[in-house]
Structure 1
């Protein structure tokens, strides 16, 4: 009976350790659900999937710091999500806002082509508090992949939007 108990405890411990080794923490987590060349998210509960032709990523290095700009457009609804990642060069979790040294910025835009002055823009961060995060799962010379979520505010009317379940899968 003691042998059976020992074997059961050993089996459970091995199973738990095996599952723990698959768990992601500071490595940026899982890659999300965006197909290659797109950005996906939920904006206040509404689905967002960028058009591959309207999605781009660019990197600029100046004074030893790299800035990555991810721009995505959903043409059918005239919506845009943009992420600016300054100094991000490794896998991990990066906070949007939360202090004086802001290096990650996000925005959500609803464009109005017939009246451009009526275009609505929500930005994050919008105060000294953290307003979201970007999780980089893969970053190489040829690819960037990860997830994001943020709450952004429109400075015109103080309204907010919640962008959740965001993911990107882009070739550099």
Structure 2
């Protein structure tokens, strides 16, 4: 009986820790990316870029966020807000021109170690197909030294017409 109580106590403690780690971010909507990283699901699988290969720049009305993860299977995100005006939400696609206020890409490179020239590089871009809205970038915080926010988008590969769903994206990146 004591064993059952101990197991129950351990399970309850694990549940409490689990629920507290799923708590909201205080209403900032800044997502779950760690400092210096981009984190998103690509067709349901998490991809996180390390601080070493992640960067952001801001100049005038332009905000650029990029990051690369991986080793022999490199995966990268690039998000551009071309009409940046501070904290807010920016459409990827849509609008009068069909371009929206932002665009994004997701790339994958599968390196063939035995024959690097046979490596496979694929690129998925958004917006596409006439510029319908296919996602959003939300900047929740920007200072002189850092930018935070969230994003999601559907991107299309023009070589084979495949699409990738980028969901639950977030970033927390020092500005260069």
Structure 2 length as normaliser, TM-score? Answer: 0.75
Conserved? CA contact 2:127–2:155, under 8 Å: yes
The match for 1:89 among 85, 103, 106 is 85
- How many pairs were matched up? 142
Q: Give me the whole-angstrom Cα distance separating, in 1, the residues matched to 2:118 and 2:151.
A: 28
1:5-154 correspondence to structure 2 within 5 Å: 30-61=29-60, 66-76=61-71, 77-99=73-95, 100=97, 101-113=99-111, 114-115=116-117, 118-127=120-129, 128-154=131-157
Partner of 1:159: 162
> Which runs of 5 or more structure 1 residues have no equivalent in the other structure?
1-22
Closer, same or farther in 2 for the Cα pair 1:116/1:54, shift >3 Å? farther
Question: 2:134 aligns to what SS in structure 1?
Answer: strand
Closer, same or farther in 2 for the Cα pair 1:53/1:132, shift >3 Å? same
Conserved? CA contact 2:92–2:102, under 8 Å: yes
Question: 2:100 aligns to what SS in structure 1?
Answer: coil
Closer, same or farther in 2 for the Cα pair 1:44/1:89, shift >3 Å? same
Which consecutive aligned stretches of 4+ in structure 1 deviate over 4 angstroms post-superposition? none
> Which runs of 5 or more structure 2 residues have no equivalent in the other structure?
1-25
Conserved? CA contact 2:109–2:119, under 8 Å: no
Conserved? CA contact 1:54–1:75, under 8 Å: no
- Offset of residue 116 of structure 1: 7.0
